[in-house]
Chain A
């Protein structure tokens, strides 16, 4: 594979290696050379052996070959008619950088301090000027990256380590102090104490007790003919060692009492969740990549964001759907729809119920103009069957009124942090038990909470983008995301995905879309052993692992390997580092939980303890 002129410019100091056999008399250009970013892998694979007397790219461009040279062989000085004078090219490159950055106000010279000496200063022309005085592998690199600056965003965006002084306050616009909090809208979540639940003869909430009329089942079944049977029961915290069919979803009971999703007042039942489980008429579990049937205490990671908490009362809705519909779109959806009919009856009671407010959670959609603008991108599944999500239903975590992202063509959809925190996503929950994000996950997503609360950044929004089934569509969706990220003028983003495998194609593509626009990006996923990336690119150099299984497998414990508070904290810190130009060391060639824990320790987080599920597929 030959390289482009852009790649060439990034790799002037790297070894010059031909991608294919080249003949005597050739004048060497970018098209003849192999991409240096592949050299590590090629060396590892035994394809390439670099030599100390090999010339650098900048030394051979424009030179003429005096003999035939094989592919993947280092070019040495006896093979070419002339070797370019290196310093000349290097300084020319630096000049080019200087010109581009013209009136960069906050710019200072790199101090001769400890390595790496990196400065990133936003100039008045809307460019970030990055100058690396000295670093491990780079020297004298200087470049300008556009930050798509708009009015009011001209403040210095970031400074790193030793060069904090470079953030000259003179660049702050007069009309606002950088980072000052502006509240756009407020959402109040009133958590109402629930202490008991039972299946009885009326649907009501009285004195902290939810009662559901058992006759509601008959009505719920009418919601969808594919749903053949529903059973309701209550599982108390002291009775968790109970058999369950595969856990399809955990859904909070929440309802709007004022305003729309993302604003006004929402009541959330505290201490109780719905759990949807099910099989088809042949007894086949309704699951995709592995199922979690078994004893509940062994099959759910209690306390994780998508799961029930230790002390939650669980109202179990166990469904039987028409045979052979489990792996198609309508089957699992029927189960969710029928459960939602029952939850709605409870929501209606919750609206009226004037019980004890355990906690009043004030959620704000805020902007902090002048701070680095960031978005959170959440790749969700969009491939049919259970690989689907309902977006923005009428009721929090509901179904009615929402649109399925498969039907929306999986295009990126932007929500405010408050909308996400108010249950805008009802997950039809795909993939394996451990890596899927269930409905409850979104209403308390640690990355949304973490970014929204971070006073050093300006969270612009949360983008949901579906992962389609077809490769071409993955690319198409990803390009749309790229344009969106560009037009949002962001300074950084975090991209997450649930599950692993084919969705990693678009996940990596999304990272590339941000990366090639010069937007610092951090990727978050389960990969570990079983989910190791199937594709990669050079922008995927700041990645956070979600795995919590000992063998690095997708295990059968619902919600085990997902975005936790610790994952979120590491991802946010890594993004700050990347935006500030602080080096992130490259990942080792194999999954190693010690790397995760070293990062945890740097941030004062507890170790990531791996669950020994015995999974060894």
Chain B
């Protein structure tokens, strides 16, 4: 059987490009660093306006002294039940306070910024939201920025904002549940625990796992030899939805 062919057709979808490397070497011991944590996972204060789940390039300001019980998630890209149980599964704010108390890191900035990266508008995040968050963090003297994605396009938005922070002179790491996206989109450093999207920073209420993921991501910020390198973290959590 002969196949009918038509000359001149063109592929309709382009495959993404590898962006320019961006890398800021960490020059201080972790114990002296001011560490910020941002997330694309749709975390906000219960008192704040929820994100638009179909795409939203605005961000929310979260003071680091906000109790984790005041935080919630608005995100349509994954099963929310883990974060509903424990917001630290996406935004490990309690773990960060513990690490300061322990002396593992120096301090936390007064406030940080969260957004909902699902379906994120690439240009808006690259040109507006990312640079603005980076500027505000830098102005608070932040040395290190850790970031979680949420869903697939969240990882894209997370990586874009993280790259802005790196370019502004902070050393950053994306904690990725979907490392291929963070890699392709050009995250400066990547750690990859074996976790489902929705619990990117570890199993809900599993404090040792969450602590280990944050600590080893910080160590990767210190030890990562160069741009876009991945460290797979030996923590596994399966979410039985």
Contacts and interface: CB of A to CB of B under 8 A. Distances in A.
A65 B74 CA distance: 57
A371 B1 contact: yes
A307 interface: no
B144 to A, nearest CB: 24
Contacts of B119: 289-290, 432, 500-501, 530-531, 553-554, 617
B80 interface: yes
Interface string A321-337: 00010011100000000
Nearest to B73: A327
B7 A503 contact: no
Contacts of A500: 119, 152-153
Contact of A502 (B11, B21, B76, B178): B178
A543 B1 contact: no
Interface in B207-229: none
B241 A469 contact: yes
Interface stretch (B51-59, B103-111, B163-171): B51-59
Given A556-B54, A580-B5, A534 B10 contact: no
A591 B10 CA distance: 12
A89 interface: no
A590 interface: yes
A504 interface: yes
A434 B7 CA distance: 31
A523 B13 contact: yes
A329 B11 contact: no
A45 B20 contact: yes
Interface stretch (A185-193, A224-232, A594-602): A594-602
Contacts of B195: 470
Residue of B77, B118, B238 with highest tally of chain A CB at under 10 A: B77
B62 to A, nearest CB: 21
Interface stretch (B24-32, B90-98, B134-142, B179-187): B179-187
Given A471-B179, A554-B54, A617-B52, A598 B10 contact: yes
Contacts of A327: 76, 79-81
Contacts of A30: none
A540 B9 contact: no
Interface residues of A, number: 97
Contact of B77 (A502, A570, A590, A591): A502
Nearest to A571: B12
A554 B13 contact: no
A615 B52 CA distance: 12
Nearest to A574: B9
B79 A328 contact: yes
A385 B6 contact: no
Interface in B148-194: 151-156, 177-181, 184-185, 192, 194
Contacts of A583: 7
B9 A584 contact: yes
Nearest to A475: B180
A159 interface: yes
Interface residues of B, number: 61
Contacts of A606: none
B9 A585 contact: yes
A42 B21 CA distance: 10
B81 A534 contact: no
Helix, strand, loop or mixed for chain A's interface?
A: loop
Contacts of B122: 529, 532
A383 B180 CA distance: 18
Residue of A329, A383, A585 with highest tally of chain B CB at under 10 A: A383
A45 B11 contact: no
B131 interface: no
A523 to B, nearest CB: 7
Contact of A582 (B6, B13, B120): B6
Contacts of B64: none
Contacts of B52: 290, 617
A537 B11 contact: no
Given A530-B119, A603-B6, A471 B180 contact: yes
A607 to B, nearest CB: 14
Contact of B5 (A38, A385, A469, A576): A576
A379 B225 CA distance: 37
B67 interface: no
A251 interface: no
Contact of A470 (B18, B76, B155, B194): B194
Interface in A371-403: 371-372, 383-385, 387
A235 to B, nearest CB: 24
Contacts of B81: 327-328
A540 to B, nearest CB: 5
B241 A41 contact: no
A414 interface: no
Interface of A: 38, 40-42, 44-47, 155, 158-161, 164, 167, 178-179, 287-291, 324, 327-329, 368, 370-372, 383-385, 387, 406, 432, 455-457, 469-472, 500-505, 523, 525, 527, 529-538, 540-545, 553-554, 556, 570, 573-574, 576-577, 579-580, 582-591, 595-596, 598-599, 602-603, 615-617
Closest 10 CB pairs of A and B: A617-B55, A290-B54, A384-B241, A502-B152, A536-B15, A501-B152, A543-B13, A179-B1, A288-B76, A585-B10
Interface of B: 1-21, 52-57, 76-81, 84, 118-122, 151-156, 177-181, 184-185, 192, 194-198, 238-239, 241
15 contacts: A383-B78, A385-B80, A432-B76, A470-B238, A471-B194, A533-B14, A534-B181, A536-B15, A543-B11, A545-B12, A573-B4, A573-B6, A582-B5, A584-B9, A596-B12
Given A291-B53, A536-B184, A554-B119, 6 more contacts: A167-B2, A329-B241, A502-B152, A534-B16, A534-B180, A585-B11
